Amino acid sequence: MGRAPCCDKANVKKGPWSPEEDAKLKSYIEQHGTGGNWIALPQKIGLKRCGKSCRLRWLNYLRPNIKHGGFSEEEDNIICSLYISIGSRWSIIAAQLPGRTDNDIKNYWNTRLKKKLLGKQRKDHHHNHQGRKGSSKQETKRGTASNSMVPAADINNNYNNNQNPYWPELPVLAPVPYSNQEPFFNDHASIRKLLIKLGGRFSDQDNHHQPLIHDATTNPQFSIHHNPSALTAFSITGTSSTQFAPLHHHYNSTDAVSNLQMLQGESNTYSVELEEMVYTNPTNLDGLEFLYDEANMIDDDRNGGGDHRGTGWGEMGNSQLVYLPSVPSDYEEGVEKQGMPQECLFNELSYQRPAQ
């Protein structure tokens, strides 16, 4: 038996919201708040909508200061960096980008950014390769305000200083260089290059490489110490008193690898081909080849190669990405207030996504 639905689906309206519905919901919430109960809210205001639908509508559309579209280069970079670091945890990524919703970012990633990134990587490798269409019209329309990757501290400064009640702070996450991991593939420099490169710029105008990397030598706000007691753990000490309390954050490196795997391609073909390339000629990969043109990879496949499906991507769990958790904040409302230790809070960030 499945659980009972959250509302009577027969009596709720679905589909696009009308301006009247929007107005009702917005004015009610602005005056009374949600009342802490989304399920009951639509009845209160006479909306034939599921409570979850109301919540979504409010969060993704009606809430003040929502930005739609027009993602900046800077935002692209942040999204890409965080995606590489933590994967598809859109709510956390969204919390780094005030005005952006998780849904928006998710859509943006799935429809444009991922393609853009893949396109770029291909471009890097096959620059001047003919037969490639230009980037999408949306990309070309969009401005390129910033050409630099934004360090985590800057994210914090630039965005979190601009607080408003609807946009709680979040721990700032930032990839830092992998550490002294065991090599995976025979050439672990490949993945280093990959991470650095992916941590770099994602724009089409890639004239300056400026990876998002933090260490004590380049960013005085942080010092990063490898914690020898745990292969996949770092201890990160913040030195900015209120913003960066001493914390520990443990991140399972297999997450990063799986994120990269996800990025590798949208199909098994992609992944299999990549494995093939890795294991048949690892030294030529230069860390990025899995991002190349699908067509090329298919061609490669036709040109030979055996079945490497069983070869262990899962065994390369030694790559390490580390975040710079920073702000004990109101994010995850009440977590801090309820006395959850910061380590718990940030362990949450390192959670293992349950199999779905």
Partner DNA sequence: AAGTACCCCAACCGCCACTCG
Partner DNA sequence: GCGAGTGGCGGTTGGGGTACT
Per the CB < 8 A criterion, the answer to whether 329 and 161 are in contact is no
Q: Is 185 in the site for DNA (CB under 7 A)?
A: no
Q: Is 75 in the site for DNA (CB under 7 A)?
A: no
- Range list of β-strands (E), the chain: 222-226, 233-238, 247-250
Interface with DNA (CB under 7 A), residue from 48, 63, 67, 91: 91
Q: Is 16 in the site for DNA (CB under 7 A)?
A: yes
Minimum Å gap between C-beta 261 and DNA is 12
Which residues, other chains included, contact 9 with Cβ-Cβ below 8 Å and sequence gap of 6+?
50
Q: How far is CA 193 from the centre of its chain?
A: 19
Minimum Å gap between C-beta 257 and DNA is 15
Q: Which stretch binds DNA (CB under 7 A): 13-21, 191-199, 304-312, 320-328?
A: 13-21
Question: Strand, helix or coil at 226?
Answer: strand
Q: How far is CA 123 from the centre of its chain?
A: 22
How many Cβ atoms from other residues are within 10 Å of residue 50's Cβ?
A: 21
Q: Is 261 in the site for DNA (CB under 7 A)?
A: no
Nearer to DNA, 137 or 242 (CB): 137
Question: Strand, helix or coil at 153?
Answer: helix
Interface with DNA (CB under 7 A), residue from 182, 220, 333, 341: 333
Q: Which stretch binds DNA (CB under 7 A): 51-59, 189-197, 205-213, 248-256?
A: 51-59
With contacts defined by CB under 7 A, how many residues of the chain interact with DNA?
53
Nearer to DNA, 6 or 298 (CB): 6
Q: Is 38 in the site for DNA (CB under 7 A)?
A: yes
Nearer to DNA, 61 or 185 (CB): 61
Minimum Å gap between C-beta 167 and DNA is 13
Interface with DNA (CB under 7 A), residue from 8, 23, 30, 39: 39
Per the CB < 8 A criterion, the answer to whether 194 and 260 are in contact is yes
Q: Is 302 in the site for DNA (CB under 7 A)?
A: no
How many Cβ atoms from other residues are within 10 Å of residue 42's Cβ?
A: 24
DSSP per-residue codes, 82-127: HHHHH-S-HHHHHHTSTT--HHHHHHHIIIIIHHHHHHHHHHHHST
Q: How far is CA 35 from the centre of its chain?
A: 31
Q: Is 24 in the site for DNA (CB under 7 A)?
A: no
Whole-angstrom Cα distance, residue 160 to residue 141? Answer: 28
Nearer to DNA, 63 or 226 (CB): 63
Nearer to DNA, 55 or 214 (CB): 55
| Token pair listed for 160 | 């979190």
Interface with DNA (CB under 7 A), residue from 42, 51, 238, 287: 51
Q: Is 17 in the site for DNA (CB under 7 A)?
A: yes
Return the residues of window 126-165 that contact DNA according to CB under 7 A: 136-138
Q: Is 310 in the site for DNA (CB under 7 A)?
A: no
**Strand ranges across the sheet with 233-238:** 222-226, 233-238, 247-250
Per the CB < 8 A criterion, the answer to whether 318 and 231 are in contact is yes
Return the residues of window 96-125 that contact DNA according to CB under 7 A: 102-104, 106-108, 110-112, 115
Per the CB < 8 A criterion, the answer to whether 64 and 20 are in contact is no
Nearer to DNA, 24 or 57 (CB): 57
Q: Is 354 in the site for DNA (CB under 7 A)?
A: yes
Minimum Å gap between C-beta 347 and DNA is 10
Q: Is 173 in the site for DNA (CB under 7 A)?
A: no
Say if residue 242 is exposed, middle or buried (CB neighbours under 10 Å; 0-12, 13-18, 19+).
exposed
Binding site for DNA (CB under 7 A): 2-4, 6, 9, 13-17, 34, 36-40, 49-53, 55-57, 60-61, 68-69, 88-92, 102-104, 106-108, 110-112, 115, 136-138, 332-334, 338, 348, 354, 356
